[in-house]
Amino acid sequence: MKKILYMLTLSIFIFSCEDVVEVTVPNAPPRLVIEASLNWFDGTSGENQTIKLTQSAPFFNNQVSPATGATVTVSNESNIVFSFVDNNLDGNYECTNFAPNLNETYTLNIIYNNETYVGSETMTSVTPIDFIEQKNDGGFSGEAIEIKAYYTDPAEEENYYFFEFKEEHETNPFLNVYDDEFINGNQIFAFYSNEDTAPGHELIIKNYGVSEQFYDFMFLLLQQSDSAGGGPFEVQPATVRGNCINVTNPDHFPFGYFRASQATEFIYIIE
Amino acid sequence: MSQYLHLLSNTSSPTPLDVWAPSGKYIKPQVLDQYAVGYFKNLKDGDYSLEVESYYKSVKNRIDYIDGANLIANDAIERVILNGKAGAYGFELLFRKNEGRLKGWLAYTLSKSEQKTEGRSPNETGINNNSWYNTAYDKTHDISVTSSYDVSNKWKANANFIFQTGQPTTYPNGQYVYNGIVIPNYSDRNSTRLTSYNRLDVSATYTPKPRKKEGWQSYWVFSIYNLYNRKNATSISFAQNEDTGRNEATRLAIFGIIPSVSYNFKF
C-alpha cells in the first residue's frame, strides 16, 4: 500500500508541469501608490524623510511611473505641518526638518490630480537587533546559508515587526513581518535564506516597529506577491487596501500605506 | 431541500483546501429551491434517445470566505466567512445512440452559476462590492462526446472528448511597487477565467475469450489519456521572475498525455 501511495505521488510530479504562458489580463486605470514610510533610525535625528509616490501600471509593463506634481504634507498632533517637496521631479518627496516623536500620531495629506488623500499612523517603537547567527548547513540541500537576526521582544506590550533584508547584488529586498503572539517577552529571530547568498556579501538588515494594521496589510501583500503564490492555505487573492483613503472620490482609493516607525539597522558581512 | 454541511473551498490554489463546516450557532443551513422541466423521447424504436432539460436553482445561506481570510488551523471558521446566496440555471441536452456497433452519446450543457455575498452592514463591502459573481465551478459550455465501437468480438474501441469553458479565477488587473517589491493587484473575485479545458481520450479493450462466461474471465485495456497532450491549466499564478525582473504568468498543468495498460479479471 505504501508503495502504491509512493508511486501515485511520484506520478503527479512526473506528469504535472509548470510553464510560463501568455495570458490576457484585465487592465484597471492607474491608481496612486503611496509609499509613505517615516523611518526614525536609532541614533539619527530623523529629520530627513522621503515619501515616494508612484502610479500603478498594467501587470505586464516593465516599470511603473512616478506620480509627480503632488502636494504632500505630514502634520503632527500639535498641528505642526511638515512639507515634502519633490525636488528632482522623480516622485520622491523629501522633507529635511521632520521631528519624530514616539507614540505621536501623524496625519498624511496628499493632493494629487485635484484629489485629496489622507491617512494617519502612530509612530511605533522597535527593539534593537541583538546579534546575528549564521548557519552554513541549512535548507534541504544542507548547504544553504541561513541568517538569523535575534531580537528581544518586550513582554508588556503587543509588538509587530517588519524586517527588511537587503543583500548586495540582489535587486529586491526580502521582506517579512512578525507578531509576538507566541513569542511574547522572549528572544527570537527573523530568518533570511537565499540561494544566491555568498560569503563576503554585505547584508543590510532593517527592523521597523509597526502597528497591527500594518502587520495585517503587509502579511497579505507578501502572500499575494510571493512567487510561489497560491499556497494551499490561501484564499482567492483580492485588492489589499492600506490605511489611506481618497476623500474626494472614495472609489478611486490609493494603494500603499502610511507607516511611521522607529527603526534599527544592522550591517552584516556574510562569512 | 436543506443541507446542513457547507463546503468552503479556496479554489484558486492548485492544491485546494476544502473545509466542511457543519451548520450551527453561527452558520445557518443551506436552503435550496430547485425547478426543472425536462423532455424525453425515444427515436426509431429506442435506437436513439433524446433528453432535454432545463433547471433553475436558488440557494439561501451560501457561505464564502472573506477576502484575506486566514485558513491555517483556524478553528473559528465563522469569523472569516460571510453569508450570501447563490443561483444557478442552465439547459442540458443529451442525445444517445443505444444500439448497433457504434454506440455513444453527446451531451451539452449551457449553464450559469453565480453567487452574491453581501457585507453585514452598509459599511462592509462584502465580496466584490456586494455584486453577483461567478461561483468557482461556473462553466458556461460543457460538451462531452463518448463513443464506443465494436471492431470484432475481441476488440472494442472507445473515444471520449470533453470541452469545458475555463474555470473562473482571479487575475491581476495591475501592478505596483511597494517597499521595493512588485505587488500584483487582483481584480474582483472569479471575474476572469482560465483558458478552456479540452482533451481527447482513446482506449481499446481486448477480450481474449469473449464467450467465456464463468470461471476466470479477463480483458486488457490499452488507453491514452489526453491524446493530443493539451496542457490544461489547473491554475495560473502571477509573480515577478526574480532573475529577469519581469512579471510572468505561470501555468500549472497536471496531466499531459498518459498512456496506460490495465489487466482486469473476475472469477
pLDDT at A52: 95
pLDDT bin (cut points 50, 70, 90) of residue A229 is: very low
Question: Is A184 strand, coil or helix?
Answer: coil
Per the DSSP assignment, residues forming a β-bridge with A165 are A174, A205
Chain A partners of B190 at a C-beta cutoff of 8 Å? 236
In a domain, B22, yes or no: no
A201 touches chain B (CB under 8 A): no
Per the CB < 8 Å rule, is A230 touching B184?
no
pLDDT at A66: 94
In a domain, B19, yes or no: no
Determine the Cα–Cα distance for residues A242 and A254; give it in Å rounded to an integer: 8
Determine the Cα–Cα distance for residues B119 and B125; give it in Å rounded to an integer: 5
Determine the Cα–Cα distance for residues B80 and B70; give it in Å rounded to an integer: 7
Is residue A28 scored above 60 in pLDDT? Answer: yes
In a domain, B18, yes or no: no
What percentage of chain B exceeds 70 in pLDDT? Answer: 96
Q: What is the mean pLDDT of residues B30-56?
A: 93
Give start-end residues of each CATH 2.60.40 domain in chain A.
32-124+239-262, 129-227+265-269
Closest CA–CA distance from residue B236 to any residue of chain A (Å): 9
Lowest mean pLDDT among A219-223, A234-238, B28-32: A234-238
CATH number at residue B71: 2.40.170.20
Host domain of residue B73: 32-266
Instruction: Give me the CATH topology for the region A32-124+239-262.
Output: Immunoglobulin-like (2.60.40)
Q: Which of the two residues, B234 and B174, has the higher pLDDT score?
A: B174
Q: What is the mean pLDDT of residues B2-22?
A: 75
In a domain, B159, yes or no: yes
In a domain, B15, yes or no: no
Is residue A227 scored above 70 in pLDDT? Answer: no
Determine the Cα–Cα distance for residues A156 and A167; give it in Å rounded to an integer: 33
Is residue B165 scored above 90 in pLDDT? Answer: yes
**What CATH number labels A129-227+265-269?**
2.60.40
Per the DSSP assignment, residues forming a β-bridge with B22 are B5
Q: What is the mean pLDDT of residues A106-125?
A: 95
Is residue B225 scored above 80 in pLDDT? Answer: yes
Q: What is the mean pLDDT of residues A120-146?
A: 88
Q: Which position has the grid cell 503527479? A: A12
Query: Which positions ≥6 away from A125 have C-beta within 8 Å?
Result: A102, A103, A209, A262
- The values of phi and psi at residue B48, to 5°, are -125, 155
Determine the Cα–Cα distance for residues B11 and B16; give it in Å rounded to an integer: 5
pLDDT at B44: 87
Best interface-test mutation with A: which of B18, B74, B175 has the largest number of A CBs within 10 A? B175
pLDDT bin (cut points 50, 70, 90) of residue B66 is: confident
In a domain, B21, yes or no: no
Q: What is the mean pLDDT of residues B133-145?
A: 92
Number of structural domains in chain B = 1
Is residue A8 scored above 60 in pLDDT? Answer: no
pLDDT in tens, A84-112: 999 999 999 999 999 999 999 999 999 99
Is residue A228 scored above 70 in pLDDT? Answer: no
Per the DSSP assignment, residues forming a β-bridge with B31 are B2, B60
Q: Which of the two residues, B10 and B94, has the higher pLDDT score?
A: B94
Per the CB < 8 Å rule, is A28 touching B192?
no
- The values of phi and psi at residue A8, to 5°, are -60, -50
